[in-house]
Amino acid sequence: MAFMNPSGEEIGRLLRDAKTIAVVGLSPQPGRPSHGVAAAMQGFGYRIVPVRPAVDEVLGEQAYPDLDHLPGPVDIVDVFRAPEHVDAIVDQCIAHKLPALWLQEGVVNEAAAQRARDAGIMVVMDRCIYKDYVHYVD
């Protein structure tokens, strides 16, 4: 059975209810898509938690090397990493009982997404969180 994303209504509800987004792979470089999307989401009022090793801060927020080191709960884990890295991210999401995993456009790993969903995590895959916010919330 092929992976299916949640409905537009469910995506809109997730984005309306969420307050904190951990962005895995958030680049400190303003020209990178992860930076632009995270900055826009921050502008919409979300707290952004950068998850990127070897970086102290991004967008004025302290960065953390991985999901194991998050300072507190997050509502969505937004992933800007290549598909082969998603399995380890899913492992961390499951271990920490994180509620939602968002794999950005081009990030497709159906097996990992299904494993996360089977663990009770809401999964959105191969979609842009910014575009969906503008479409379903703004």
Name residue, tokens 């997730």: 14
Domain boundaries, the chain: 8-136
- Kindly state the average pLDDT of the residues 60-88: 97
Domain 8-136 of CATH type 1.10.1060.10: no
According to DSSP, the β-strands at 57-58 and 61-62 are: antiparallel
- The answer to whether residues 94 and 121 touch, using CB atoms and an 8 Å cutoff, is yes
Distance of CA 68 to CAs 30, 105, 128, Å? 26, 24, 24
Q: How confident is the model at residue 138 (pLDDT cuts 50, 70, 90)?
A: confident
H, E, C per residue of 83-96: HHHHHHHHHHHHHC
Which pLDDT band, with edges at 50, 70 and 90, does 1 fall under? low
Look up the pTM and report it.
Answer: 0.96
Question: Distance between the two ends of the chain, CA-based, in angstroms?
Answer: 33
- Which pLDDT score is estimated for 13? 97
Q: What is the pLDDT of residues 3-15, one digit of tens each?
A: 899 999 999 999 9
